[in-house]
């Protein structure tokens, strides 16, 4: 288990799955080695006034608002594909 860095283009619209406690965002990235499926999971805070502030301008929103063709760079855990760090170079979002 270690971190690896991948660079590539978003190959599919991000998929966001939610339940009462978690949100999961999955992204397909086309790299020189082929397509890789990467993901990030977030704990959803209890709903209140600050609910939106928990997601706006975060790693979650940067991944979820990525579009097909965007150039990205991500550090992921090699054994799971879970995203540790994510940068959307096309949208200048980290």
40-56 pLDDT, tens digit per residue, is 998 876 655 566 666 67
- Give Cβ neighbours of residue 75 (< 8 Å, ≥ 6 apart): 3, 4, 5, 83, 84, 85, 86
Q: What is the pLDDT of residues 4-47, one digit of tens each?
A: 999 999 999 999 998 878 889 999 999 999 999 999 998 876 65
């Amino acid at each position: 288990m270690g971190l690896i860095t991948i660079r590539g283009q978003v190959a599919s619209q991000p998929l966001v799955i939610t339940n009462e406690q978690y949100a999961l965002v999955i992204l397909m990235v086309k790299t020189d080695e082929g397509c890789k499926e990467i993901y990030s999971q977030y704990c959803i805070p209890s709903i209140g006034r600050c609910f939106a502030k928990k997601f706006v301008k975060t790693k979650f929103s940067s991944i979820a608002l990525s579009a097909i063709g965007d150039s990205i760079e991500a550090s992921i855990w090699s054994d799971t594909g879970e995203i540790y760090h994510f940068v959307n170079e096309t949208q200048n979002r980290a």
